[in-house]
Structure formats: structure tokens, C-alpha cells
Amino acid sequence: MGARPAAGGGKWVDVAPERVARWLANFAARHGAYRVAGLTLTAADGATATLQAPPGAGTVTTVAELIAEAGAPRRLGLLLARKGAVAVGVADGAELVASKVDTHYVQGRTAAGGWSQQRFARRRDNQARAAAADGAGIVGRILLPEVRSLAALVTGGDRSAVDAILADRPLAPVAALRAGRLLDVPEPRHAVLVSAVALARAVPILVREP
């Protein structure tokens, strides 16, 4: 699924649950035999890999427990939002079983033509609020009825857009399930939502080379 830079150095690698054991074998092949302390592996050449449980997995303290928990079936809610686009879905394991995608026009940040800056800003704020309200309505229809069956809510896109949607008071039970990680995704479309299921299920591994 690619890698992303990690704060403080190293990189995050997202590994599908069914591929974690193979990834660990490849880590040993690249860096030498490793010792394990909790969820951190330290290889012979000094490279380290720290595993994190994916959203919705139970508490784990060992790599073996993590692999078992990561591969266990669970239902996840998904909310992707960026500017005026929103995609909401329910994933049952690796399958997207319910979804809704919508787009609401929101102007860019740069005023054009003869608009005064204040008038432009007011219009943009009104459009953003309308988009958040529409997004909240979709979350209410798709996720709220399923909230008792969801192990976690995984969000992605623009944090402020997601926050605005989840600020809707009736969505508090859904917001309470929100996982800490925000997925980095492009403007939400159905294909982006489908791809986000794999990211939401993946085991994040922090790798630091010697």
C-alpha cells in the first residue's frame, strides 16, 4: 500500500492483515534475525519495526495477538470528507457493504473577479456549513443505524471538514467510535472509498532503518 514519512524519522508502512506474517519474514530476510519486545522488533543490523493494531482491533500486547486480532472479522464505519465532497460507508471485513457519496459545491479560498473579500468569505462559509450539514445527514442515514455493530469509525481527507460533520450533536454515538488516524485520501469518490477499506483494515508498522 506504499509508505508515508513518520514524524521523528523512519516511515509508516500499511500492511494488509493477511500479509503481516509474510512481511515479518521479509523484514528478517532484509535485516537479519530480530528480537521482540512487546510489539517492537529489533533486527540484527539495528533496524526496528513497531506494529500497531488497526482500528477496531482489541487490546494486544504481543505480535501473535496482533496478527490474530487484525485478521478477525469486524465492521468499520468510514467517513471521508474534503471540501464539499463526502463519502460514507460500512465495511464488513474487506467488503464495502453500504455506501453513499455526495458532492456539494464549495468555492476555493481565492476570491475572483470583483467580489469583495468579506462577501466572498461569507459565501464560502455558508457553502461549507451547508456541505457539513449534508454530510452529517448522510452519516446519520448510513452509520447511525449501524453504530452498535461498528468496531470503529475511520475518517479521512480534510480534518476540519470531518470535524464539522461529526460536530452534529445527534452523531455523538458515531463520533465516539472515531479512530485516531486520519487517512490521507484525495477528493472522496466511490473508488476512493473502496480503496479506503484496505487502508482502514491495514496494520500500520513504523520502520526505522539503522
Q: Structural domain of residue 131, as residue ranges?
A: 75-201
Residues 148 and 160 both lie in one domain: yes
Residues 64 and 131 both lie in one domain: no
Residues 20 and 85 both lie in one domain: no
Residues 181 and 193 both lie in one domain: yes
Answer yes or no: is pLDDT of 126 > 90: no
pLDDT score, position 132: 79
CA distance 156 to 166: 12
Cell of 198: 484496505
Residues 91 and 137 both lie in one domain: yes
CATH code for the domain in which residue 118 is found: 3.30.420.60
8 A C-beta contact, residue 185 and residue 157: yes
Q: What angle do CA 107, 108, 114 make, to 5 degrees?
A: 80
- Any alpha helices (H) in the chain, and if so which ranges? 20-31, 63-71, 117-142, 159-166, 172-175, 190-201
Nearby residues of 24 by Cβ (< 8 Å), 6 or more positions away: 41, 49, 63
Q: What angle do CA 89, 77, 199 make, to 5 degrees?
A: 85
Helix axes 20-31, 63-71, angle to 10 degrees: 140
Residues 126 and 138 both lie in one domain: yes
Residues 11 and 97 both lie in one domain: no
Total domains, the chain: 2
Q: How confident is the model at residue 154 (pLDDT cuts 50, 70, 90)?
A: very high
Answer yes or no: is pLDDT of 87 > 90: yes
pTM for the model stands at 0.87
Residues 157 and 62 both lie in one domain: no
Residues 100 and 177 both lie in one domain: yes
Residues 102 and 13 both lie in one domain: no
Helix axes 159-166, 117-142, angle to 10 degrees: 60
- Mean pLDDT, rounded, for 88-105: 91
pLDDT score, position 199: 95
Residues 37 and 88 both lie in one domain: no
Answer yes or no: is pLDDT of 111 > 60: no
Q: What is the pLDDT of residues 11-68, one digit of tens each?
A: 999 999 999 999 999 999 999 999 999 999 999 999 999 999 999 998 999 999 999 9
Answer yes or no: is pLDDT of 124 > 70: no
Q: How confident is the model at residue 118 (pLDDT cuts 50, 70, 90)?
A: low
Residues 98 and 56 both lie in one domain: no
Q: What is the pLDDT of residues 165-194, one digit of tens each?
A: 999 999 999 999 999 999 999 999 999 999
CA distance 169 to 86: 18
